[in-house]
């Protein structure tokens, strides 16, 4: 049996989207965008990226957004709903749900 996952844009609802991650201030964001929407985002940010500089990472800094695939995020969302967690259909998966999922499945994302 083959399972296929279709990622839809959080902006337009169109298929064939991929997750883009970006930060502003101390907050990281995740959004699913089509290639065209991602290009628009990159164009909008271009003047700021050109004038800005990459921030260095502190030695003790941990990654704010864990590495997950769209399929894994779908599994986490399904697991969360099955286990009584309430959260939005789209956007970032709350940290408490990620932590509970990881603990239930023996996953250590601190590496």
pLDDT in tens, 27-48: 889 999 999 999 999 999 999 9
Q: How far apart are CA 34 and CA 19, in angstroms?
A: 9
pLDDT per residue rounded down to tens, the chain (111 residues): 777 788 899 999 999 999 998 888 888 899 999 999 999 999 999 999 899 888 776 544 555 566 788 888 889 999 999 999 988 888 888 889 989 999 998 888 876
CB atoms within 10 A of CB 97: 19
Structure tokens at 77: 């969302």
81: closest CA among 60, 56, 101?
101
pTM of the model: 0.49
């Amino acid at each position: 049996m083959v399972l296929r996952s279709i990622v839809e844009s959080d902006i337009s609802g169109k298929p064939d989207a991929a997750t883009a991650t970006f930060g502003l201030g101390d907050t990281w964001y995740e959004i699913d965008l089509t290639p065209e929407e991602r290009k628009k985002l990159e164009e909008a940010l271009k003047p700021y990226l050109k004038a800005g500089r990459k921030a260095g990472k502190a030695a003790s800094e941990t990654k704010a957004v864990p590495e997950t695939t769209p399929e894994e995020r779908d599994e986490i969302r399904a697991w969360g709903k099955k286990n009584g967690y309430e959260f939005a259909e789209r956007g970032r998966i709350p940290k408490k749900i990620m932590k509970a999922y990881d603990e239930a499945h023996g996953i250590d994302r601190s590496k």
